[in-house]
Amino acid sequence: MSSRIEHAVQMLASWRVSLAQRSFFYGLSLDKKSGIFDTSKFIADPWAGEPSVGRGILDGSFDVDIQAIFAEKRWDGAIYAASFVWMRDLQALGGHSCRKFARNSISEFINGYRKTKRFWLAPVWNCRAAGERVVNWIFSYSFFASGASDKFQKEVLSSMCEHFSHLRKCYRAEPQPYNRLVALKAILFCLSVMKTFQQRQVNRVIAQIYRLAQSCIKDGMFETRSPVDTFHAFRSLLEVRFVAKANGAELPDGFAALLSKMAANIRLLRLGNGELSAHSGSFTPASSPFVPSRHMIDTALSIVDIKDHVASVPDFERLSTKKAVALINIIPRSVRSSFNELSEPGINIFDFEASFRSDKLINRSDISVIFDGLRIKLPKSPQITCQRKLRNSSPFFEGEVHFINKAFEFAMRREIELATDRIQINCTDFVFLSRKFEAVFRFVLGKSVELQKINQHSIQLSNADEKYVFTILSGGVSNVRLSSLDDRLYPTIEVSAISEGCEAIQFDWSIESLMQ
């Protein structure tokens, strides 16, 4: 009953906010005071930036075009540019040019949105984008405001107050839990740096954040069950802890334990190159600069004690040796990260990522089954069994899914083994359908991987100084099809096989390093 009441309250709040925002007077109602903040209280950015990204921003390799935010109706990089998360990369590079670029970008943004009618309805003013923007301005204030004119600093602080007023009006109506979390985090940051400290309000917002975290984080995983989303929620909660510590505020009981559970899971879900698993899907696209860097993950994990917490992630299985790691998805997903603009989910089970040494070689290995022009999707409650064990002292995984409906019977099995005496992944895929069907086995590789020396049953791969070979170990495959549609896309190997009906397709393959 309480959840129904809470949903009804949120729907009512959403309706009220939507009605208010349709009015031209909503913008006039936003407070623009510049004298309420004490800049000496601003918190320094705890996360290290990437100097290479900062250099790319200056030379145009990374698209940070503030003017394009207001000139185009749809632009994939708008949220990234308008969040100002890239400020820490400029700060990591340092220098007058970086500081000047940051100032000009902030001025362009403020002047641009204030000239736009009903700017608060734009996507770059949703709770997540606006909240991240405020937090990143506070984090980087000493960097971009150092030596700036009083007029510029006053404009920034006035805009921050405008953001603060907007977020306080609309965060309750935000349906997406993470967006609401970011909005509350930004409100907390603003309250904590006011000249007149609002202790009671700070404590109340921290309590709200913790209640929200409890509702959308279960067993140390964010509700989308995505490792990337879980890390972003973890990062935001750490930032809340920074604010609480800086202001002497007490965190609710259980806050530290929640962080420890999340940290244990994040550590489990890292590949050999330090990156987090991304193939399971998230609201952060895999190619987005929002994807956390290895340095950010290292920093976050280093400041949380996880000694008393064991990772518990029933969504994934992890196979690992000293030189290779494979993370396998064992629960069907409703959201998927897209690679090569191929967003179809395939069978959506037992797909996996793999890294050799510090190379993330496989971004996704999945299977699609097509009959009569239709792509098979799993029903809501398929019969799934899986186990992880050692076979001949090597980490081994076996998973099987089976279901029967009025039109056909379907079964699929995947076996994955990591060799312990060499850098190699061996896999056996088995697919059965009681109809004529085509099975497509797809391997989405790392961006920097090049396909070389393509033969009938093997493909040589090159990644920097490393070389690998992809080998088809058994017959029954009608043709090999390679896809590398554009330099901007991920190189992809596709192997297709056709069954005439009531015949199973078994496909054995391996990827092995040629430089053991």
| pLDDT attached to residue 243 | 93
Helix 199-216 / helix 255-268 crossing angle, nearest 10 deg = 40
Question: What is the structure's pLDDT at 428?
Answer: 94
- Alpha carbon distance 364, 431 (integer Å): 18
Tell me, what's the pLDDT at 423? 92
What's the pLDDT score for residue 454? Answer: 75
Phi, psi of 489 (to 5 degrees): -100, 165
Dist. CA 116–CA 122, nearest whole Å: 10
Say what the pLDDT of residue 22 is: 62
Helix axes 2-21, 150-170, angle to 10 degrees: 130
Instruction: Measure CA 246 to chain center.
Output: 28
Tell me the pLDDT tens digit for each residue of 398-454.
999 999 988 889 999 999 999 998 899 999 999 999 988 888 888 888 878 888 877
**Tokens linked to 392:** 């001949």
Q: d(Cα 376, Cα 349) in Å, to the nearest integer?
A: 12
User: What distance lies between CA 56 and its chain's CA centroid?
Assistant: 21
Q: In a structure prediction context, what are the per-residue pLDDT tens digits for the chain, which is 516 residues long?
A: 455 655 555 555 555 665 566 666 787 888 899 899 999 999 999 998 889 889 998 988 777 888 777 765 555 677 888 899 999 999 999 999 999 999 999 999 999 998 888 888 888 898 999 999 999 999 999 999 988 899 999 999 999 999 999 999 989 888 889 999 999 999 999 999 999 888 899 999 999 999 999 999 998 999 888 888 899 999 999 999 999 999 888 899 999 999 999 999 999 999 988 888 876 555 554 445 567 888 899 999 999 988 777 788 888 999 999 999 999 998 887 655 565 555 566 788 899 999 998 888 888 888 989 888 888 888 877 889 999 998 888 999 999 999 998 888 999 999 999 999 889 999 999 999 998 888 888 888 887 888 887 777 788 888 888 899 998 876 555 555 655 544 446 788 888 888 877 788 888 999 999 877
124: left (phi over 0), alpha (psi -120 to 50) or beta: alpha
Report CA-CA distances (Å) from 435 to 133, 409, 428, 475.
53, 8, 22, 21
Pick from 171, 195, 165: nearest CA to 183 = 171
The residues spanned by each domain of the chain are 45-173, 175-312, 316-513
Q: How far apart are CA 343 and CA 339, in angstroms?
A: 7
Phi, psi of 137 (to 5 degrees): -65, -40
Give the phi and the psi of residue 354 in degrees, each rounded to 5: -150, 145
Looking at residue 103, its pLDDT comes to 95
Give the dihedral sign, CA 449/451/452/454: positive
Q: Tokens for 451?
A: 């396909």
Q: At what angle do helices 150-170 and 127-144 cross, to 10 degrees?
A: 160
Residue where the block lists tokens 């039109």? 407
Determine the pLDDT at residue 9: 56
What one-character DSSP code corresponds to residue 82? H
Contact 187, 171 (CB under 8 A): yes
The structural architecture, per CATH, of the domain 316-513 is: Distorted Sandwich (2.70)
pTM of the prediction?
0.87
Contact yes or no for 348/279 (Cβ under 8 A): no
Integer-rounded Cα radius of gyration of the chain: 25
Burial class (CB in 10 A: 0-12, 13-18, 19+), 386: middle
